[in-house]
Each structure stands twice: as structure tokens, then as C-alpha cells.
Amino acid sequence: MGGICSVLLFLVLFGYSNSNEQCTASEKCSGQPAANKYSEASNKYITAINEAQTSYQPCESQNCSCYFNVIENDLQPFIDGITKQMIESVRSYGTKYQVIDKKLYRQKDCMFPARCSGVEHFIKPFLEKLPNMEMIINCRDWPQLVKNYGLHGPVFSFSRTQDYLDIMYPTWGFWEGGPAIKLYPTGLGRWDKHRQSLREASKKWPWDEKISKAFFRGSRTSDERDPLVLLSREEPDLVDAQYTKNQAWKSPKDTLNAEPAAEVPLEDHCQYKYLFNFRGVAASFRFKHLFLCNSLVFHVGNEWKEFFYDSLKPWVHYVPLKSYPTIKELRQVLEFFKEHDELAREIAERGYKFIQKQLKMKDVECYWERLLLEYSKLVRYDVVLDKELIHIK
């Protein structure tokens, strides 16, 4: 309700002329200076915020229950059962795992050992509850099964768009094997530890002491990020956005004709009021971390998702931006929130509280357990140990 009250207060303070006549963005109000009227953009943002917050129904989670509908929807294409033939048809699209007599087995070769290790960390605690079963778990960045392509089988992937059939699971990166950069040479992981360090950083830089500008550091995975970097070069007091090196970097051309910037620890992002999230190859690993700075998160594009994304609501927990926003659109939305600091603070706080309360490590573990149990109910054949697999202890 706090956000609604802020919007209504804004309307009361600025929606009337000096002669107490009610004004709208399309009306001319006698006696009111032009500077006090809404711009078309301001009307658009205020309407979106008001509508989103009015319709929002918070989820009171019981054992990660806020996410149960995601599991149900992802498994719906296989509601008639999973057969051996279906598994064999998608065998090459991921790493094969079996649960046999409460033990975990995996194909010997794993393309990304740290990622497989992260997946196994979450499966092993539930082996005693699982029947004999087998599954194909994709540890690549990209989902595998395009809808309506003719191939129909269960493949687990950490991220997807609506164009794919893949079953989403909480990424290995909650434990280990996330993106490896100079600051995190073994890969971004240990969500439990990052939750703690980011909470401490958010307390070090409370809202009123944060730097009032947008911030982004990352490699040029996509040119979708270019407008924010270019805006930063035009208006460095509004945005600090720079490209860092990635493994493919060869020259300044790869960082938009500038020398690469130094990487910045996630905790140091918390100095800034406005933090930007862009997709990477698929969904961005940084997204969940940014909220714990208690800063306002700007999320660009809505195509790519992880299992928890749909429980976060645009304009309630973060500011949504279309894919490939223009420099003008970026400037406009940033200036709006700089002028409406209380609205920005309230959205930031709701995003922080959601991730703090609904995406704890035990929620991730709970999701894994529920997903595995529901999947196991769909297996319609007797699973026999594949002797080519190795035992994961």
C-alpha cells in the first residue's frame, strides 16, 4: 500500500493548480506553471506503477509454494507420462542422470564439471525420497527443445523463453559453477554467502547515502547494452556504465571503442541507487544479486526467465524496460525516478524484501525437491541401471 499512497500523494501535490482546479496531463490549468504539469512520460510511469501495485497480490510462501505453479506449468507437456523412448530421443541434449536404489549416477563425461557438481549438490540430499528414475539435465547456457519442432522429451535447463519446452531448474550457480571472471575465478556461486555479504553492503550504503546514478559493469555479451554505455559517455553524472573484458576480447573495438573497465565486486554495486540487469547468453546470473543491494533494479527485456522470475512483478519489485531501449528512453526513465525518489525507494525496498524472504537457499532446495518428486511421478517405465554411468558419491 505504501507505493499506492506515494502515487496518490504525488497526484494530490502536483495534480492541482494554485486555484485548486484539478489538472491532467492533457489539460491546461489556469495559474499552474508548466513545470508543475506531468509530462506524457511521467503519466505513463505513474499509471503503470499505480495499476501494478493496485492489482498485486503478495504470495505468502509455505515451503517455496509461491513457485509451485512454475513446476506444474513446466511439467504439463508431459502430463500423460514420460516413456523410455522420450528419454532416448533427447539423450544428446544434456547430461544423463539416474537415481537407482537411492544412489545417484551420471554419465562419465560432463561438459562443465563445476556445473554438474552444482546440480549434484542439490539432488543428493533427496535421494532417499526418490524412486528409480532417470533424467537429462542440460548444463549449457542455452535451452534445447524448441516448441513445435517435432522433438518431444523432458530436458531440464536453468533458463528458457516461451519458445522452448525445457523444464526449468534452479541453476547450479546457486552453489557453484556460475560465470567465471577475474573477481570470481572459480565461478559465481554460494548464493547463501552472497546473500550475507550483499545484505551487509546494503546496510553500509542505505538509500539516502547511495550515489544517485545508474550503474552497470559487464562484458559486451550483446549490443543491447550499448545504449546505456553510450548514455554514460554522454551524461556521466546520470549513468556509470562501462564494458569489461570477456574471454573473446581482442581490442577496444570489443568494448565499444574504449579500453575495458575493471570488474567491480557485486557488493560495490550497492553504492548506487539504480542498477541495470541485461540478459547474457540466456538469463542473467546477476539479476537476483542486484535486489539485495536494496537499490532500484532496471530489468531490460522479459523474454528470458529462471524459475523465480514470474513471482517478481514489474513496477512492484523492479522497473521493466523493453529489449533494446533507446538512449532517449533510458534517459527519460532515469530522470523520472531521480525526480520521484520516494517511488524509487519503495520499489527498491519491495524487490529487496521479496528476494530476502522468498529466495533463500532453503527455497532453492525446496524447489529442487518438489521438482524431482513431481517429475518422478510422471516416469512410466522401470528404470534399469545404465552400466556406462558412474556413481556420484
Residues noted as catalytic = 141
Q: What are phi and psi of 269, to 5 degrees?
A: -60, -25
- The closest of 179, 165, 280, 270 to 221, measured between CA atoms, is 280
DSSP states along 3-70: HHHHHHHHHHHHSB-TT--B--TTS--TT--GGGSPPHHHHHHHHHHHHHHHH------SSSGGGHHH
The Cα–Cα gap between 289 and 177 comes to 16
Q: What are phi and psi of 307, to 5 degrees?
A: -60, -30
In the numeric block, the cell 499512497 is attached to 5
Cβ atoms of 283 and 302 closer than 8 Å: no
- Using CA atoms, how far residue 95 sits from 40, 120, 126, 342, in Å, is 52, 12, 19, 48
Q: Are 164 and 157 in contact (CB under 8 A)?
A: yes
**What separation in angstroms does the CA of 47 have from each of 44, 54, 299?**
5, 10, 19
Name every residue whose Cβ is closer than 8 Å to that of residue 368 and which is 6 or more positions away in sequence: 122, 123, 126, 169, 170
DSSP string, 89-153: HTGGGSEEEEEETTEEEEES--SSHHHHHHHHHHHGGGGGG--SEEEEE--SSS---BTTSS---
Which residues 6+ apart lie within 8 Å of 264 measured at CB? 183, 217
How many beta carbons lie within 10 A of that of residue 313, not counting itself? 18
Length of the chain: 393
SS3 272: strand
- Where do we find the cell 526418490? 130
Cell of 263: 570488474
